[in-house]
Amino acid sequence: MRPAGHFSSAADATLLLIKFLHIQHPRRTLSKAYALVPAAGSGSRLGAALPKQYLEIGGRPLLYHALLALARHPRIEQVFVVLAQGDDQFRRYDWREFGARIEPLYCGGETRAASVFNGLLAARDSMAAADWVLVHDAARPCLGREELDRLFGELEADDTGGLLAVPVADTLKRGNRDSRVVATEPRDNLWLAQTPQMFRYRVLIEALRAADPAAATDEARAIEGLGLEPKLVLGDTRNIKVTFPEDLLLAELIIRGREEKPVKMRPGSKSGKRTARNAKKSGIRTRFRR
């Protein structure tokens, strides 16, 4: 694994490229933005018969929910979906609702990083060097419009780009092989990385080309490998990644809660009673007995 801050010649070339992109695209020029959704995994930790991006919530696959906020965002020109080469599920669904805004690319690789890299290569005719690419997991079906607006708001004028993330809230324990606590770790400045992660096309593809695929579990890691510092943009804890079976139920509750447009709840108020009624209908408890 290449340590962060180590500069290969490819990394040096990329830094030069970043400087060049800034001369070509001064901050007042708005670059175009695209989304790229890796959806070529097998979902082995979830262990279902189908890859998890095709498990359904409310009659629609996780992939549909993951695409929704991206395809509806006015800043995003198009959403490229990277599918496994032998994918036979995608075409079973009717995607006409999205019109030409989504485009499947059957070029998934062995790892997530390889799928993203292959997708970027396959989309090269659509994207210019300085265009933004928002990479978002197909396994994150609860992305909201507000988080996307925050990403654009905070990164549009940024030199490097960045990612959604949430500060670590729980106390961190380091365990040994016997699951015994050996230390309590300080959680200051620790964040949990989410997606989308937003970087400029050419910088991202060069970063992934130079990265060790095993170490680059997200785009930000590859960018860090060039010695750059991606910006942490406050995400939302509801933007979960469906990894284990129990995550699917949680995602369903979050999606249903969003669809019902919850109103602010004050004890005894009419809106409070309405929220409680809505929540009861969908099986969500809003009050817990102590």
Please give the residue ranges that form the binding site for ligand CTP (CB under 6 A): 38-46, 51-53, 82, 108-112, 115, 137-139, 241, 243
56/158 with CB nearer ligand CTP? 56
15/215 with CB nearer ligand CTP? 215
- Indicate the residue whose CB is closest to ligand CTP: 41
37/210 with CB nearer ligand CTP? 37
Least distance from C-beta 34 to ligand CTP, angstroms? Answer: 16
Least distance from C-beta 195 to ligand CTP, angstroms? Answer: 8
Angstrom distance (rounded) from CA 16 to CA 133: 19
Least distance from C-beta 73 to ligand CTP, angstroms? Answer: 19
110/185 with CB nearer ligand CTP? 110
Least distance from C-beta 180 to ligand CTP, angstroms? Answer: 27
Least distance from C-beta 113 to ligand CTP, angstroms? Answer: 8
Least distance from C-beta 216 to ligand CTP, angstroms? Answer: 12
φ/ψ (deg, to 5) at 114: -65, -40
137/206 with CB nearer ligand CTP? 137
11/51 with CB nearer ligand CTP? 51
Single-letter residue type at 238: R
